[in-house]
Amino acid sequence: MPSFRFAAALSLGLILAAPACAQDKMTLILDWFVNPDHAPIIVAQQKGFFADEGLEVEIVAPADPADPPKLVAAGKADLAISYQPQLHLQVHAGLPLLRVGTLIATPLNCLMVKADGPVQSLADLKGRKIGYSVSGVEEATVAMMLHSAGLNLTDVEMVNVNWSLTPAVLTGQVDAVIGAYRNFELTQMRLAGTEGRCFYPEEAGVPGYDELIFVANAKTLDRDRIRRFLAAVQRGTEYMLNHPAEAFAAFSASAPDLADALNTRAWADTLPRFSHSPAALDYGRYAGFEMFLKDAGLIDSVLPVSQLALDPGAPQ
């Protein structure tokens, strides 16, 4: 996730603790600093929904965004927010992780360009530079998108911009970037005085996926606590939909900068993308993305969905 979010985020090691009367303690490691992507969680905390479920939830922003899944795999936290594409690779690498819930149920990632720039279609990327931050999945995503336009990776130059996505486009360092979030970077471009445009992976051959998920340790997960946790998150989402003004007030009051122009717009752009039933599992979505990664050469075999994800409320 891009570095500009540091400007709208909290200090390292942010911790929001639920009321002391809650009985069962859980630790959730976020994927990044608090931002509107986490709104149902923060609303659930602020409105007492976790406490209603008998939970005391410690919400921690990571010092390093690569750490959350590793901390869960090492037994240092109960849950972490991660990304479905990365989960597949992490499980294949041997980490004992399972998806146990979905936070954002649509892709947020997009390939972003200047709206008035020379790239008006994916075919216009031929001979141009594309910035990226994470090798592997992002390159596979670009490859599939280029393929839909009759191009391949040899037709472009991939440039590692190290999370500096919007600045790389604004300054002309690259012609496009992959990894831009459609609910953040487009607004950041607009606030900088330039309109951006997104090309969407799911409209260019990449299978749909869950952008943000909750992962737990496959060996030690507590289904009962996770079910209660997700019930509170679902209440948070429902409250946001039914009472948007009150929900935003609760969210933005939880930390400095969350009511600024960027986060206010991101709140509105992210709202329709939250899972309405975070525990529910789309088996076909995980099977399909596993095949996509296999075809892209990023994994050597195809795992059954049961080794990647579960619905904690389903019968055992």
Residue 283 has a pLDDT of: 97
pTM of the model as a whole: 0.91
Number of domains comprising the chain = 2
Q: Same domain, yes or no, for 144 and 72?
A: no
Q: Same domain, yes or no, for 129 and 99?
A: no
Domain that holds residue 155: 109-204
Is 13 a domain residue?
no
Is 244 a domain residue?
yes
Is 199 a domain residue?
yes
CATH number of the domain residue 29 falls in: 3.40.190.10
Residue 15 has pLDDT above 50, yes or no: no
Q: DSSP E strands: which ranges in 49-204?
A: 55-60, 79-82, 97-104, 109-114, 129-132, 157-160, 176-181, 196-199
Q: Same domain, yes or no, for 66 and 129?
A: no
Residue 137 has a pLDDT of: 94
Percent of the chain with pLDDT over 90: 88
Judge residue 102's burial from the number of C-beta atoms within 10 Å of its C-beta, 0-12 exposed, 13-18 middle, 19 or more buried.
Answer: buried
> How high does pLDDT run on average in the chain?
93
Among candidate residues 204, 236, 267, the one where a domain is terminated: 204
Among candidate residues 204, 219, 250, the one where a domain is terminated: 204
Among candidate residues 204, 226, 249, the one where a domain is terminated: 204
